[in-house]
Structure formats: C-alpha cells, structure tokens
Amino acid sequence: MTAVAYGSFASRNYRFLLAGTTLSNLAAQMLGVVVGWDLYLATRSPVVLGNVGLVQIIPVFLFTFAAGNMADRRNRRGISVSMQTVVALLGFALAALGSRRGVSAIYTALFLSATARAFQWPANSALLPQTVPPELLTNAISWSGTGREFSTVGGPAVAGALLAAFGSESVYIVQACLSVVAVACFAMLHVPSPERGPERATGWHNTLEGLRFVWRDKLILSAMSLDLLAVFFGGAVALLPIFATDILQVGASGLGWLRAAPAIGAGLMSVWLAHHGITRNGGVVLLVSVALFGAARRASRTAAMFFRHAVTAAN
C-alpha cells in the first residue's frame, strides 16, 4: 500500500513538475497576501481590495480558450518556463518600485501575472499525464493536490511572518526568487511535444468541441457548475486584510494564518486521498462538502461580525 501511495515519485519528470507547480503556487499565494496588505493599508478601501479579484479574473475569461489551444499545439514545457519567467520578473519589478508601488502599478502587475498563469495552468495540467504511467495518474493527481494545498497553507503563513518582521519588500523578493526556482524545475522536464497530425482540428473548432463535450457529459457539467457557484458566491479571501486589521486586529502574521487556514483541512484530505484513493458515492460526498463549505463560510462571517461588535462595545 505504501509503495503504491508513493508510486508517482518514482518518475523524475513528475518530481520536477510537482516541485515547479508547488513553488509557483507558493509564490502566487505570497503575492496575494502582500498586495492585499499593501493596498488596504494605502487606501483603506474595500472596493480596491475587491478589485484585486476582478483584475485577476479578467485574463482568465479573455485567454482561457486560447491558452488551452496553445497547450494542445505548442511545447508545454516551453510555455511553463516562459510564463513563470514573466511572473518572476513582475515580482522583482514590484520589489524594485518600493514607495512608488501604488494601486495602478499593483493592478498592472496582477493583470500581467494572471495572464501568464492563465497560459501556464493548462500547460501544466496537460504535462501531468505525460510524467507518470496511466495507472498512477490518480495517485499523481492526489499528490499534486497535496502540493497545491501545502503551498496554499505555507505561502500565506510565510508571507505574513515576513510582512510582520521585514516589511513588504521582503515578501516580493522571496516570492520572485521562488518563481525563479520554479522556472528551473520546469526547465528540467524531459517530455515530448504534443503530436500534431494533419487530421488534428485547430483553433475555435477544438474549443467548441471541448464545450460540446462538457455539455453532453452531465456528470462533468454538474460537478464543474457546482464548484464554480460555490467558489464564486462563497469567496471573500480578498477582503481578509479588513478582517485582520479592523475586526480581529491580528496584524500581518494573523492575515497570513487567516489565508492559510482553509487550506489546512484541504491539504490533510489530499494526503488521505493519495493513500486511500477515491471514495464511493462521490456525488453525495461532493454535495455534502459544498453544503458544509457554505455553512462554514456563513458561520465565519457571523462570528467575525459578533467579534467586531464585542470589541467595539468593550472600547
């Protein structure tokens, strides 16, 4: 059982891909913490914080289809290396701006970084099946999820500690350096380029075919829709600097742990799945999990408001 649980790590390519994606996500999480902190301290505006999510989702809507088509036709390792290089350069640029790092500069950097990640994500996803045998793909996906949750926990925690001890510049520099290491990991991959024959459809034909496939497969459509609605209407991560400073009054290190907390349970579950595989009655488990997610979100907001009123009354 143990050998099977760790079977994916026998692949050199998988080890480098997992390291690269984990470091990339770690850097992205650190960047999310520091820009939110800087923007709120500079403006005290919830609207400015909320627009952080808007600035980063626009490239996803604009470039998702083009990015998927590029991942099907181009060298995926090259896409990952080049896009992660862009992310690293943007991190160093934000660090170099210092006191000139205003709202416009941060928004621009976030937009460009989100654009790079929009192209990188499908390339990385398409690389994963090329790094392990088919029988180990489920195991590899589980460990990739573990790496993603580890970075979601570790990134905010490290960023919060650096913010509290050394200030914003240290976070920008460290996350940019992590991106550079991720570039090196992607560059070490040895995978073949996608096969391209004369019978392969290209462009919008591929995109429309993918949409038709999702629409026909009601299981995939319902799972994707459920996840989309839960995250779209349940997420308030961008507003956590308000909770950390004005409501809970826990400072920069507390902000890091607030950002990290939701991923702790997800990381533990990813490790469990890597050892035990997919559970039975997956649809029921998915519905119950989303319901608990919504209930927890509601309870956390109620508790925060109660705490805020209690602190105000005490003062």
- Cβ-count burial of 216 within 10 angstroms (0-12 exposed, 13-18 middle, 19+ buried)? exposed
Least confident interval from 26-40, 53-67, 83-97, 162-176: 53-67
What is the per-residue pLDDT for 278? 58
Chain centre to alpha carbon of residue 99: 28
The 10s digit of each residue's pLDDT in 15-25 is: 999 999 999 99
Residue 166: pLDDT over 60: yes
Task: Assess contact for 39 and 48: CB atoms under 8 A.
Answer: yes
What is the per-residue pLDDT for 1? 46
Which position has the higher pLDDT, 266 or 175? 175
pTM of the shown model: 0.74
Least confident interval from 8-22, 85-99, 123-137, 255-269: 255-269
Confidence tier at 300 by pLDDT (50, 70, 90): low
Mean pLDDT, all residues of the chain: 79
Going along the chain from its start, the domains and CATH numbers come out as: 2-191+236-278 (1.20.1250.20)
The whole-number average pLDDT for the span 285-307 is: 67
Polymer length of the chain: 315
Confidence tier at 101 by pLDDT (50, 70, 90): confident
What is the per-residue pLDDT for 35? 92
Residues with Cβ < 8 Å from 71, sequence gap 6 or more? 79, 119, 122, 123, 125, 126, 194
Taken in order 163, 165, 168, 174, the sign of the CA dihedral is negative
Name the amino acid, one letter, at 141: I
The whole-number average pLDDT for the span 247-251 is: 74
Task: Assess contact for 139 and 274: CB atoms under 8 A.
Answer: yes
Contacts 24+ apart (CB under 8 A), 1-7: 1/275, 4/139, 5/139, 5/274, 5/275, 7/132, 7/136, 7/139
Candidate ranges 137-141, 170-174, 268-272; pick with highest mean pLDDT: 170-174
Residue 130: pLDDT over 60: yes
Residue 209: pLDDT over 90: no
